[in-house]
Amino acid sequence: MYKKFEMELAGRTLRVDVDRVAKQANGAVFMHYGDTTVLCTATASEKPREGIDFFPLSVEYNERLYSVGKIPGGFNKREGKASENAVLTCRVIDRPMRPLFPKDYRNDVTLENLVMSVDQDCSPELTAMIGAAIATTISDIPFDGPISTTQVGLVDGEVVFNPTAAQKEASDMALTVASTKDKVIMIEAGANEVPEDKMIEAIFAAHELNQKVIAFIDTIVAECGKPKHTYESCAVPEELFDAIKELVPPREMEEAVFTDDKQTREENIRVITDKLEEAFADKEEWLEVLGEAVYQYQKKTVRKMILKDHKRPDGRAIDEIRPLAAETDLIPRVHGSAMFTRGQTQICTVTTLAPLAEAQRLDGLDEAETSKRYMHHYNFPSYSVGETRPSRGPGRREIGHGALAERALIPVLPSETEFPYAIRTVSETFESNGSTSQASICASSMSLMAAGVPIKAAVAGISAGLVTGDTDDDYLVLTDIQGLEDFFGDMDFKVAGTHKGITAIQMDIKIHGLTRPIIEEAITTTKKARTFILDEVMNKTIAEPRAEVGPYAPKIIQMQIDPQKIGDVVGQRGKTINAIIEQTGVKIDITDDGAVSICGVEADSMAEAKRLVEIIVTDFEAGQILEGKVVSIKEFGAFLEFAPGKEGMVHISKISKERINHVEDVLTLGDIVTVVCLGKDKMGRISFSMKDVAK
């Protein structure tokens, strides 16, 4: 026996099965949204993990290809590492839930989401977001839930909740909003330059729907919820704080953190920490949590300075952006490059162009996404923050930042018809002190323009921070937060867009949600800063895309052929097209509708490849002048190759105006000759002549 709960959500049935499967987990729900099925579980360790000063939460989103009737590709026929979509889904589940666990909780918690069936009209990601929240809320794990999540589309100017596959295709916005009972706790969006007021309207429309889902979850908790277990608190003892303040008065801590140089501040804190370690050398239990105590002391100091005194650690005004700089073409021989600097945050983005055949192929659960033409990759090496650690490939943060920048720039990219290239931008973090993801958007926008990509408008990004007091009305929104303000503040509200509107949002917070006035002020603040960056820095560096791609970038000629002639161009087992590629050194891509892209660096080689394709797909007609190579000599004439796989014959009587006894008297293998097509002979064969060319 198990308990089943149902509600109608955006025109489809959401069903939650409790006590049906996975009963040994602390909390588990079998989620059904339409025909989408996801198993969501929450488990926690019995004891805290020793030697850590953070909450060890792990979120997993496991995509099984059987959910869409596929067998994984490759030799190893099982799922490998998590896809980019799975990583991004883990992050979007983590962000609204993490702030709702106790701050002094150190038990390991894992939220597992197993996608077992996918209905393309019912998002498995959304189902997992709601399911993870329900599983945790009904479990005995301490959690200040419930929360709910809604996806929002914008179709023909109208807000659509949890859009279907067809609605997503037509939508100008992909917005995800998570809420508690009172406030918005997470926002993630990609949009086609949607105005700020429309975005705010959509956010709070989703917030209202979330309240209905939360009421539904409350009924499940009332019937199935377990009492929350007690846990061993890892809070810093108050007596330790008192002892620290005696040795390091608040004024001394203010002086330590009040600097615009990250390295100087870190050295000041190191000196204070060494002083405290020496003073508490005989108190081992205090030394174990001293690092956390110093962190919290810094946090309280910075928050008090900002909120009460309106003083920022680097001396800036509340709405002031750090010093900005930009340049293009700093990397030679690449297809495009640009660098954007904001204070101690510095990003260099390099653009690479390639034929459409090099677009990334996707093997995921979304049937609408089988390839990706634009790829943005973000790298964050340890030297960028003055640390040393081995590189082990991109982590979830790097994948998330890359996806955010990619989402911000897709709305301004030209179509494949306008610009038939696959495009990759790589953002290298040279230096980091806050909001590198938004700097990578600025650098990437300029790099694309420097590469000659005809983007519709420049895109800039900026981040707003927040420091709150004891009430909802006691808060301060900060423009362009640096690392310290991100660590010690309550919010990292990233917004990217053009002059026209928003293209991407990502909001991380550490508190239990934001009120509408805070969100509206953050969006207004970022628009003002974004406009300043576009007008005063980026547009003055490169005002518009270059008229053509650079000398080292591949050039592309497009042509259209009859789809029925594709086989002639490709040839048996690719023999014909490979011969053209070998002869000219170009790359050739042909789509099923007959669109041919010829890609190369040298104009002459590309023109020759185009000529050969045109010959292959053109039927021979009387009067047509052609140039061919002698590839075979017979007693009755010579065979000419006009293009790979396209041959014709000149009869011995049509070779010369004078009578000849042997073809070899005039022609040898390899000769290049000009002929005219005479049309069909009495046998219906195409006839060619050398001697009639002059006519």
Provide the annotated binding site: 486, 492
**Token reading at 299:** 């946090």
Q: Is 277 left (phi over 0), alpha (psi -120 to 50) or beta?
A: alpha
> What phi and psi values does residue 210 have, to the nearest 5 degrees?
-60, -35
Q: Residue 370 CB: number of other CB atoms within 10 A?
A: 11
Largest CA distance in the chain: 117
- Which alpha helices (H) appear in 113-195, and where do they start and end? 124-138, 165-170
> What phi and psi values does residue 132 have, to the nearest 5 degrees?
-60, -40
Instruction: Please give the sequence-ordered ranges of beta strands (E in DSSP) within 272-404, or none if there are none.
Output: 324-328, 336-342, 345-355, 360-361, 371-372, 374-379
Helix (H, G, I), strand (E, B) or coil at 226: coil
Give CA–CA dist 562/438, Å, rounded.
45
Q: Could you write out the DSSP letters of every residue in 465-515?
A: EEEE-SSTT-EEEEES--HHHHHHSSEEEEEEE-SS-EEEEEEEESSS-B-
Q: Residue 282 CB: number of other CB atoms within 10 A?
A: 7
- Which H or E element spans position 267? helix 262-279
Q: Is 132 left (phi over 0), alpha (psi -120 to 50) or beta?
A: alpha
Q: Binding site for Mg(2+), residues?
A: 486, 492
Give CA–CA dist 459/419, Å, rounded.
19
